[in-house]
Amino acid sequence: MPVTRDARPRRYLMCPPTYFTVAYEINPWMHQDVPTDTELAVRQWEELKKTYDELGHEVELIEPIPGLPDMVYAANGAVMGDGVVYSAKFTYPQRQPEGPAYEKWFADAGFPTVTATEINEGEGDILTVGELVFAGTGFRTSLASHLELQEAIGKPVISMHLVDPRFYHLDTAMMVLSDDDIAYYPEAFSDGSRRVLERLFPDALIATEADAEVLGLNGVSDGKNVIHNPRATALAAALAERGYNPIGIDTSELLKGGGGAKCCTLEIRA
């Protein structure tokens, strides 16, 4: 019998993809020679936001800034732990102005903020599972930022070493399903990091390579409803077997920039 799952209302920060395009190449998913359709990206983003609204979640918006086409990937903008905001400090110069923009939004909203001095890309590489925080490294976020993050939010931070460039952020290789349940793609991690996940989550949902390759793990869960790429069919079936309600939302245009539903969604953990 599937486990009965309970949804918990969430509060999210999102950024409309008003200026979305692929103007440069900083991850394996981005190709400037592949045309992008900004209007389609906006429609897909609006469907994602509408789904959150219909599920009873509160969605806050940050104003997009011209010249920052990746600002739609709000998850990269910061990370929150117990009401404290740890700002992002991006690896590539094309995205570096996003960090201060998101930090200003949180400060203006009245949240205490800690300005990062070490390279990190927010919830793209930092995922909260109950009382634990998992922080990726290997491609975008520095190992030094993990210690800085722990000092900022006062929660245990566990380092995860990513080894496959297709999964350059932790949120492309691992999805938080509940406070004690995750899904992940083992081959995206180093041997030691895999063994840590096996030890902490022996019953975790293991994603197939086919589902991982379409960024099926770049999803958002409220504890019951799981927003995911509809092309991740095996993942959807496995989620349903576990008592979750998988909801496929097409973000294929935004995938051209290397992100899906999770990349577009930063959780406000007040």
Count of alpha carbons within 13 Å of 51, Cβ hemisphere only? 23
- Neighbouring C-alpha atoms within 13 Å toward the C-beta of 235: 33
- Start-to-end CA span in the chain (Å): 34
Q: How many CA atoms lie within 13 A of 55 on its CB side?
A: 27
* Angle CA 106–110–112, to nearest 5: 75
DSSP 136: E
Between the CA of residue 267 and those of 82, 107, 220, what are the distances in Å? Answer: 11, 15, 10
Q: Answer left, alpha or beta for residue 190, where phi above 0 means left and psi between -120 and 50 means alpha.
A: beta
H/E stretch holding 206 reads strand 205-206
Phi, psi of 234 (to 5 degrees): -65, -40
Contact (CB, 8 A) for 64 and 18: yes
Rounded to an integer, what is the distance from CA 1 to the centroid of its chain? 30
Q: Which residues are catalytic?
A: 169, 263
